[in-house]
Structure 1
Amino acid sequence: MIKINKKQIINFFFPILIVITLILGIIKFPNQSILAAQKGISIWVNVLIPSLLPFIIGANLIIDLKVVDIIGYIINPVAKFIFNVSGKSALVFAISTVSGYPVGAKLASELRNQKQISKFEAQRLVSFCSTSGPLFIVGAVATGMFKNPELGYLMLICHYLGSISVGILFRNYGKESLNNTKTSLKSNVINTINDRYKDERGFFVLFGNAVFNGINTLLSIGGFVIVFSVVFEIFSLFNIISLVSSILCIPLSIFGVTKELCNAFISGLFEMTIGCDKISSVLSVPEVLKASLSSFLIGFSGLSILAQCCSFIAKTDISTKSYVLSKFLHGLLSSIFTFLLYPLLKSDSFVSNFGTMHNFIYDNSLWSFYLENYNIILPIFILIYIFIILSILEKTSYKLNKES
Structure 2
Amino acid sequence: MSRHSPIFTLLFAFSTIALVFALVAYSQISFEAAVRGLKIWWEVVFPSTLPFIVLSEILMGLGVVHFVGVLLEPLMRPLFNVPGTGGFVLAMGFSSGYPVAAKLTTRLRQQGNVTQAEGERLVSFTTTGDPLFVMGAVAIGFFHSEQMGLVLALTHYLSAVIMGLLYRFHAPFAVVSKPLEKTDQPLPLRALQAMHRARLRDGRPFGKLMGDAVHSALNTLFMIGGFIIVFSVLIQLFSAIHLTQIISTFLSIFLVPFGFPPAFSHAIVAGLFEVTLGAQAASAVPDGVSMVWKAAIASAILSWGGLSVHAQVASILSETDIRVAPYLLARSLHAIAAAILTFILWGPLHTSAWLSEKTIPVFLPSTSEIPLIGWWDTFWHSSLLALGVAVLLLLASVLFRRIRPNRMR
Between the aligned partners of 1:273 and 1:5, the Cα distance in structure 2 is: 32
Aligned twin of 2:78: 81
Residue among 321, 334, 340 paired with 1:317: 321
**Alignment partner for residue 257 of structure 1, among 240, 258, 261?**
261
C-alpha offsets along residues 76-109 of structure 1, whole Å, 9 cap, x if unaligned? 0111110111000122111100111000011111
| 2: CA distance, partners of 1:198 / 1:80 | 24
Structure 2 Cα separation of the partners of residues 294 and 332 of structure 1:
11
Structure-1 residue corresponding to 2:272: 269
Q: Which residue of structure 2 lines up, in the alignment, with residue 247 of structure 1?
A: 250
Q: Of 180, 190, 195, which residue of structure 1 is paired with 2:193?
A: 190
Structure 1 Cα separation of the partners of residues 316 and 227 of structure 2: 13
Which residue number corresponds to residue 97 of structure 1?
94
Moved more, 13-22 or 334-343: 13-22
1:328 is matched with which residue?
332
Aligned-residue offset at 1:256: 4.9
> Do structure 1's residue 28 and structure 2's residue 25 form an aligned pair?
yes
Q: Contact conserved, 2:76 with 2:82, CA < 8 A, in 1?
A: yes
Match of 1:340 in 2: 344
- Indicate if the aligned counterparts of 1:162 and 1:330 stay in contact, CA closer than 8 A: yes
Report the alpha carbon displacement of residue 9 of structure 1 after superposing the two structures with TM.
3.7
CA change 1:252–1:193 in 2 (3 A) is same
Which fold has the larger relative contact order, with Cα–Cα distance below 8 Å and residues 6 or more apart in sequence?
2
Structure 1 window deviating more from structure 2 (4-13 vs 161-170): it is 4-13
Cα offsets for 1:349-375 (capped at 9, x unmatched): 99xxxxxxxxxxxxxxxxxxxxxxxxx
Cα distance in 1, alignment partners of residues 296 and 43 from structure 2? 26
% same residue: 35
**2:67 partner letter:** I
Contact 1:131 1:163 in 2 (8 A): yes
Correspondence for 1:181: 180
- The secondary structure found in structure 1 opposite 2:5 is helix
Q: What does the per-residue CA deviation read over 1:97-130, in whole Å, with 9 as the maximum and x for residues that have no partner?
A: 0111000011111111222211111111111111
Structure 2 residue aligned with 1:149: 146
- Decide whether the 8 Å contact of 1:292 with 1:336 is kept in 2: yes
Residues 1:19 and 2:5 aligned together: no
The 2-side partners of 1:148 and 1:137 are apart by 12
How many Å apart are 1:188 and its aligned residue? 4.8
Superposed CA deviations along residues 33-88 of structure 1, whole A, max 9, x for unmatched, are 11111121122123312332222222222212211110110110111110111000
Could you tell which deviates more after superposition, 250-259 or 318-327? 250-259
Match status 1:221 vs 2:218:
no
264-273 or 180-189: bigger deviation? 180-189
Corresponding residue SS for 2:66: helix
Q: Is the 8 A contact 2:93 2:126 kept in 1?
A: yes
Give the distance between the partners of 1:280 and 1:125, measured in 2 at CA. Answer: 31
Answer whether contact 1:36 1:230 (CA < 8 A) is retained: yes
CA distance in 2, matches of 1:86, 1:179: 8
Would you say the 8 A contact 2:50–2:221 is kept in 1? yes
Q: CA deviation at 1:13?
A: 3.0
Q: State the partner residue of 1:127.
A: 124
Cα distance, 1:169 vs structure 2: 1.5
Q: CA deviation at 1:135?
A: 1.2
Change (3 A) 1:51 1:332: farther
User: 1:136 deviation in Å?
Assistant: 0.8
- Listed one character per residue, the Cα deviations across residues 267-298 of structure 1 (whole Å, up to 9, x for unaligned) are 12111111111221222322221121111111
Find the counterpart in structure 1 of residue 162 from structure 2.
165
Correspondence for 2:311: 307
Structure 1 CA distance for aligned equivalents of residues 281 and 233 of structure 2: 17
Whether 1:212 and 2:215 are equivalent positions in the alignment is: yes
2:299 is the alignment partner of 1:295: yes
Alignment TM-score, normalising by the size of structure 1: 0.80
How far residue 181 of structure 1 moved from its aligned partner, in angstroms, is: 1.9
1:29 offset after TM fit, Å? 0.8
Q: By how many angstroms is 1:244 displaced?
A: 0.6
Shift of 1:191: 4.2
In 1, Cα distance between equivalents of 2:235 and 2:11: 17
- Say which of 65, 69, 80 aligns to 2:66: 69
**CA 191–125 in structure 1, closer or farther in 2 if over 3 Å, else same:** closer
Report the CA distance between 1:313 and its aligned residue: 1.1
Distance in 2 separating the partners of 1:232 and 1:81: 42
Letter in 2 for 1:248: L
- Partner letter of residue 199 of structure 2? R
Q: What is the CA RMSD across the aligned residues, in angstroms? A: 2.3
Unaligned runs of 5+ in 2: 356-409
Could you say if the C-alpha distance between residues 81 and 320 of structure 1 is closer, same or farther in structure 2, counting changes exceeding 3 Å? same
Letter of the 1:267 counterpart: A
1:87 aligned counterpart, secondary structure? coil
